[in-house]
Amino acid sequence: MAIYIMNAGAGAGADPMRQHADDNIVTFAADMGLGKSRIRIERVDPRDDGHGRYGYEIRLDDHKTEVWMPGRPIEQVRFRRHLHVPSDFPCLYVDGLSRLWCYAVEMARDRLLGVAA
């Protein structure tokens, strides 16, 4: 008997588009609630793009975090607790750790505020 363990949402998305990822990262930053003028977003080396995700570095003062955003429309990426089924949404990667949108927002915000290492 074989047992398979799968990280739902970790696979590549269908037909990724960088423009979706660019739009999504702006919404992601706004969802952190840290003030648009305080946050800086930069693309990481595009040669590292892959698996339907695009990399961004988000900075706040001396803190930074790296987020890999799926290149899919926001309604297919922005998972919200109690509203959606987790297996229907792709994960984002925050500093290499896979998280659904709402958990990725919390993790990135904590890292930018220096709450988490």
Using pLDDT thresholds of 50, 70 and 90, give the confidence band for residue 15. low
Sign of CA dihedral 68, 71, 74, 75: negative
Chain centroid to CA 18: how far?
13
**Residue 78 token pair:** 């922005």
Residue with the larger pLDDT of the pair 10 and 24: 24
Helix or strand holding residue 54 (H, E) = strand 53-60
- DSSP letter string over 77-108? T---TTTS-GGGSPPEEETTEEE-HHHHHHHH
Residues 69-109 pLDDT 10s? 999 999 999 988 777 778 888 999 999 999 999 999 999 99
Lowest mean pLDDT among 8-12, 48-52, 90-94: 8-12
pTM of the model: 0.82
What pLDDT sits at residue 7?
45
Which of 94, 65, 77 has the alpha carbon at shortest distance from 14? 77
Range 7-36 average pLDDT: 80
Using pLDDT thresholds of 50, 70 and 90, give the confidence band for residue 30. very high
Residues 89 and 79: their CA atoms lie apart, in Å, by 6
Using pLDDT thresholds of 50, 70 and 90, give the confidence band for residue 6. very low
Sign of CA dihedral 53, 117, 57, 37: positive
Report the side by side order of strands in the sheet with 39-43.
39-43, 53-60, 63-70, 92-94, 97-99
